[in-house]
Chains A and B, each alone.
Chain A
Amino acid sequence: MLAGRPLRDSRIETLANGSKFFSLLTMNVFGYAGDDSNPRPIPNRTLYTIKKKMSDYLQAGIATRARTDSGGKQPWAWDALKFAFCSDRVKMPLEQVIPIPREDLWWLAASDDLVLLSDRVTHHYTTVDHVAREADRIFFLDEWPERIFLKAGLNAADVAAQVDPYLAGVLDDAAPGLKNKKHVSITRDEFLRVIVGLVTLDTPALLDRYLAYRPEAKQDFAIRYAFGAALMDVEMDQLAKFAVPHLKAAWQLAGSKRADVNAERVAALFYQALAIAKFAQLFPGEPLAAKPFADELDALLVKVSEQSLLDRLDVEELARIGNAAGHARDFAASLRYLEHAVGRDPAHDGARHLRAMVKSVTGNWSGVAEDLVVALAANAERSRARAAERDARDPRDRHGLDDDKARLGGLRGRRCEELELLFNAYVNLGDFVRARATAEEVVALEPDRASGHRMLGALAMQAGQKEEARRHLAAAREKETAPGGRAQLDQVLASLGAPPAEPAA
C-alpha cells in the first residue's frame, strides 16, 4: 500500500504552501479566546460549514483573479475544490462529509489541511504543516501551540505532543518574522486516536486516487454517494461530469442495499448531476460532447419517473439545473426547471432572478418585472435578517463578522444585478419613471458601480437631455472596469461630442 496520498497538482501545492505561511504568520497573534474573563460562546461549526466557508473564499478569490489583469497571475487549477472527510465512526450526513476508515485519514492528510482533532472532551481545529510519513509523525501549525490540548496531561487520549521551534529555528536569522514560531507534532498512532476529520484542497482526481488506494471502497455506497455529493456541493457545473460516475455507482449500490438508504434521493442527485453535466457539456457548442450524459439521463428516466426525481430535489438544486440549461441556451428546459423551483418556493430570490433572466431572452418583459419585484423583496428580507444576525454577533467572533460582511456584500451585489435587469424590463415596457427609480437605487447602493450611472445616462439620452446624459455616462466611464464597457462608453460619449477620456495608465 502507498505510504500516503500522492503529491497534488503543483498549482495546488503552491497555494497550500502560501496558505500555510499565512497560518505561520498568524500564530500567537490573536488572543486566546479562553483567556477572556467572559468567554464568548463557541460558534457552532462543523467540518462541513468550515468546508463551505473555505470553498466560498476560494471561489471568491478565483472570481477576483479572473476579473483582474493577467499580469503576474500564478497559474491555477480550474477544478480545484475543498473536500471534507471524516472518520466513518462519526455520524455525519453523507451529503456533507465523506466518511472513510479512520486509518485512511493518515493516508489522506496533507500540507495545509484543516484537521478536527478530539479526545471526546476537547474538540480542536488546527492546520497540518506537513506529514513525515517515514518518521510516522505529523506536524501542525496551531494558532496557540503552547496551549494545544495535545500536550501531555492536557488530553484524555494519552497524546504527548512535541512543541518545537519551527524548522528547528534555522530560519530565525533569515526570516525574523518566523522567530518564536513553533510547530506541534504527534505520532501516527496518536493522530489516529484523536483525528475526527479533515478539510483538504485537491481536484476530483483525488477521489480516483483514493479508490485506487482502497479498491473495496468502489463498492461502498456511503463513500461513492458522498464523493458524488461533495463534487456537486461545490456548485461548479463543470465538476458535475466527475460526480456522475460516483452517483451512478451509489444509485446502483443503493438499489440492493440497506433500508436506511434513501434510494430515491440518491437517484434525484444522480439526475441533477446528469442534467447539469449534459448542459455544461453542451455549452461549448458540440452536441455530441453531451451525448454520454444525455444517454445516461434517458436510461435513468426509463427506470424512474422524472416527476419523482424533481420532487426530491430542493429549490436550490432545481434552480441550479435551470441555470445550467440557460447557460447552454436551452431556454425551454431552463424555464421548465425554474418553474418547478418557483413552484416549490414562490419567494425564492435566486430562482426568481434566474427565471427573469431567461424570460428576458425571450422578450417577456412583464414576466421579468413580475419575477424581479418578488426577488427584490426576498433579497431585502434576507439582507435585513443577515444584518440583524451581524448586529447580534459577539464582536470578538472575527470569523463570523468577516462572513457577515461577505454575505451582505454578496446580497447587495445580487440586488444590483436584479435592479439592472429590472431597469431593462421597465425601459422595454416604456415605464421610464420606475426605470429611473431603479437606476437611482443602484447608484445609492453602489455608487462606484458603473451600471447605475450608465442607466441614468441612457434615460437622459432617451429624453433628449444631452448634457445630463454626458454627465452620467462620463461618471460611468470613470467607474467602468471592463475594457469592452469602457470602449463602448467612449463611443457613446464621442457621439455626444464629449472629449475622449484619458487612456488608462
Chain B
Amino acid sequence: MDNTALDHLRQAQEAFDAALRSLDDPAVVSEDRPLDPALVAQALDHFSQAAHGFAASEETTLEAQARNGLAEVLLKTIGPGPAARTQLTQAEQSARTGVERLDSVREPALTLRGLLALAKAGRYVAELAPELREARLITTSSLLDGAAYVAKELGDDVLDARVGAETCCVVSQRFDGERDEKLMDAITRGEEAIAAFRRAGTNTFEQAALLHHLGNCCMTVAVDRAHWLSKGREFYREGAAVVDARRYPRLQRMLDEHVAMVDTLLQNNDFALPDKEMVARYGSGITTALKDSDAETARRLGWGFLAWGWSVQPNPNVHVGEAHKALAKVAFARGDWDDAQQHLYHSLGVLSAVLSERDRWYYLVGEARDLFKQAIERNGQGASLESWLQRAVRSFVDGDAACVRAARIVDRDPAAALPEFELALNLFPCHPAAHFYRGAIRSRIGDLAGAIADYDFMLTLKPKSTHTLANRGVVKKALGDEQGAVADLDEALKLQPGNPELEKIRAEIMKKREQGAQA
C-alpha cells in the first residue's frame, strides 16, 4: 500500500468535502456560489498526486477512486470561457481511466460514480461543441444505460434517481429520430427518478431541479399540446412546492414564473412550440434528411422553416435569415450554387437588418457572409464579390423601405406604387408584403396570371395570410377556377372562422357558381 498516495487521497477528499459543505449552510443562498478556490486547488492537487501514486503502485481501485474524485472536482468547477474545454477533457480522461481500472461487479459504487462523471462530461461536451452534439448525446445515453444497470444492482434509490435524472437531461436534448419520442422517453425516465427521490425522502434540490427540467420537457412536446402543457405545469408546481426557497431563490422564482406562463398559454389557447425548439427541430430535420441524401425532404423542411420564421413576430427576424441559410445549405448539398447564392443573399440581408454588432447572435451574420462568399466564388463571380456583399447587406433594408414607400400610396396611386414594389422585389425577391401588394395591383390591372404568381409565392412564405388567400380566391374566380376559389376561401375561413368579409366573398362565389350551374 502506497501510504503517501493514501494520504493524498484522504486530504483531497477532505478538501473537496469541506468545499461542498460550505454550500450546505441552510442559512445562505447556495445558488451560483462558487466553491472555495483554495479548497478546490487543494483537492485537485491531492487527487492528482494520489492518482499518480496509486497508478505507480498498481493499486487500481484506489487509483480509480482518486481519478473519480479528480473528475468530480473538475466538473463541479467548470466555468465559462475557453478553459472549460480543457477542463472537460481532463475530467473526462480522468473518469474514463478510473472506470477502465475497475471491475464493475466487485466495485459497483465506484464504477457508478465514474460513469456518472463521464456522463456529465459528455453532456457538457455536447453543449460546448455543437459539431459533436448529437454523437455525444447518443454515446452518453448509452453510458447511462450501463450506469442504470449498476445502480439497480446496488439497490440504492438516490443513485438510481441520479442516473434517471441525468438520463432525462441527456435524452431530452436529443434530436435524432422522432423528437417527441425522445422527449417522452426523457419524461418517463425523469418521472421514475422523481419516484425514486420521493422514496429516498432526501435531495429536495435535485428533485426540484429535475421537476423544473421535466416541466421544460413537457413544454417542448409537439403533440397534444394542451395535455403536455398541463402536465408541465404540474411538474413546475410540484417543484415549487419542494424547493427550499431560502437557499435556491432563483429556482423557486423560475418555477413560479413557469406556472404563471403555462396558465397564460392555456388561457390563450397558445399551443405554439417555443422558438428555440422549432429552430432545433427544423435544423435537425434538415441535417438528418441531408445525411440520408433526401434533398427533397430537406428542401421541404427548409421552406417550412422559412414560412415559420415569417410567422414569428417581429417580421422579419433572425429565424428568417437562418431559414434562408438552411435552404442555402440544402442547395449546396444538391450542388445548386445559384440557388445557394440566392438564399445566402437573402440571409445576409435579413440578418444584417435585424442584428447589431452588440448582439450575441451577431456571429450569424459572419457565418452568412462566409457562406455567401463561397457561393459567389463557386459561381465564378469572385471578381464582383465586394459589390455583391454590399448589395446583399442592404438588400432587406432598402427593399423594405421601397415597399413601405409604395404601400403608403398604393390605394390612391397604384400606377406609381408598382415600380416601387418592383424595386423592392428586385432588391429583396423574397419580400412577402411586396409580393402581396404587387399581386393586388396586378390583379387590378388585369394581369391575373401575374397576380396568382405573386399570391402563390406570398403563401409559400406566409401560408396563414387570410388576406392573400381571399385575394387569390377572388383572382381564381375571375380566371374561372371557382373550385380553387372556394378552396382558398375555405382555407381562409378555417384560419378566421366566422369572418364576415370572407364569408361574404365565399357566398358571392357560391352564388355565381350556382347561377352558372343553373344556366
Contacts and interface: CB of A to CB of B under 8 A. Distances in A.
Interface of A: 9-11, 69-70, 73-78, 203, 205, 241, 244-245, 248, 277, 281, 283-286, 288-293, 295-296, 298-299, 482-484, 487-488, 503-504
Interface of B is mostly: helix
B181 A75 contact: yes
Interface in B69-112: 96, 99-100, 103-105, 111
Contact of A503 (B150, B188, B227, B296): B296
A65 B297 CA distance: 17
Interface stretch (B141-149, B348-356, B490-498): B141-149
Given A295-B105, A483-B289, A484-B293, A284 B100 contact: no
Nearest to A203: B188
A281 B184 contact: no
Contact of B103 (A281, A286, A295): A295
Contacts of B135: 285
B170 to A, nearest CB: 12
B335 to A, nearest CB: 10
Given A299-B105, A483-B289, A281 B142 contact: yes
Contacts of B141: 284
Contact of A487 (B99, B227, B295): B295
18 contacts: A70-B178, A74-B223, A75-B178, A75-B181, A75-B184, A77-B181, A77-B188, A205-B188, A241-B149, A244-B149, A245-B149, A281-B146, A284-B138, A288-B115, A288-B143, A291-B100, A295-B105, A298-B105
A290 B185 contact: no
Which size bracket describes the interface of B in this complex?
Answer: 35 or more
Contacts of B180: 75
B411 interface: no
Contacts of A70: 178
Contact of A291 (B111, B178, B293): B111
A268 B119 CA distance: 32
A292 B295 CA distance: 41
Nearest to A488: B293
B139 interface: yes
Nearest to B140: A286
B294 interface: yes
B296 A295 contact: no
Nearest to B148: A241
Contacts of B184: 9-11, 75, 77
Contacts of A277: 149
A415 B294 CA distance: 28
- A-B CB proximity, top 4 nearest: A483-B294, A289-B142, A286-B139, A484-B293
B297 A483 contact: yes
Contacts of B100: 288, 291
Given A285-B139, A295-B105, A483-B294, A9 B146 contact: no
A292 B111 contact: yes
A483 B149 contact: no
Contacts of A293: 146, 149
A298 B139 CA distance: 23
A77 B96 CA distance: 31
A291 B142 contact: no
Contacts of B422: none
A296 B296 contact: no
A296 B146 contact: no
B359 interface: no
Contacts of B178: 70, 73, 75-76
Contact of B104 (A73, A205, A291, A483): A291
Contacts of B292: 482-484
Nearest to B151: A292
Nearest to A284: B142
Interface of B: 96, 99-100, 103-105, 111, 115, 118, 135, 138-143, 145-147, 149-150, 152-153, 178, 180-181, 184-185, 188, 192, 223, 227, 289, 292-297
Nearest to B228: A10
Given A70-B178, A203-B188, A483-B297, 9 more contacts: A74-B223, A75-B184, A285-B139, A289-B145, A289-B146, A292-B146, A292-B147, A487-B294, A504-B296
Which residue of A11, A244, A245, A503 has the most chain B CB atoms within 10 A of its CB atom?
A11
Nearest to B183: A75
A285 to B, nearest CB: 6
Contacts of B96: 288
B229 to A, nearest CB: 14
Nearest to B192: A205
Contacts of A69: 297
A236 B340 CA distance: 43
Contacts of B227: 10
Contacts of B293: 483-484, 487-488
B146 A290 contact: yes
A97 B178 CA distance: 32
B454 to A, nearest CB: 24
A420 B152 CA distance: 44
B93 to A, nearest CB: 12
Contacts of B185: 77-78
A289 B296 CA distance: 36
Contacts of A292: 104, 111, 146-147, 149-150
A74 B184 CA distance: 12
B139 A245 contact: no
A295 B143 contact: no
Residue among B145, B150, B184, B293 with max Cβ neighbours from chain A (10 Å): B145
Given A483-B294, A487-B294, A76 B142 contact: no
Given A76-B181, A483-B297, A288 B146 contact: yes
Contacts of B139: 284-286, 289
A8 B150 CA distance: 25
B196 to A, nearest CB: 11
B294 A484 contact: yes
Given A286-B143, A291-B99, A9 B188 contact: yes
A293 B152 CA distance: 13
Contacts of A488: 293
Given A286-B139, A291-B111, A483 B296 contact: yes
A488 B105 CA distance: 48
B296 A245 contact: no
Nearest to A282: B142
Contacts of B295: 483, 487
Nearest to A485: B293
Contacts of A11: 181, 184
A146 to B, nearest CB: 37
Nearest to A296: B105
A299 B105 CA distance: 8
A132 to B, nearest CB: 23
Contacts of A205: 188, 192
A283 B153 CA distance: 23
A241 B223 CA distance: 30
Nearest to A287: B100
B168 to A, nearest CB: 14
B158 to A, nearest CB: 16
B146 A78 contact: no
Contacts of B103: 295, 298-299
A452 B115 CA distance: 48
Contacts of A295: 103-105
Given A244-B149, A288-B96, A483-B293, A78 B142 contact: no
Nearest to B149: A292
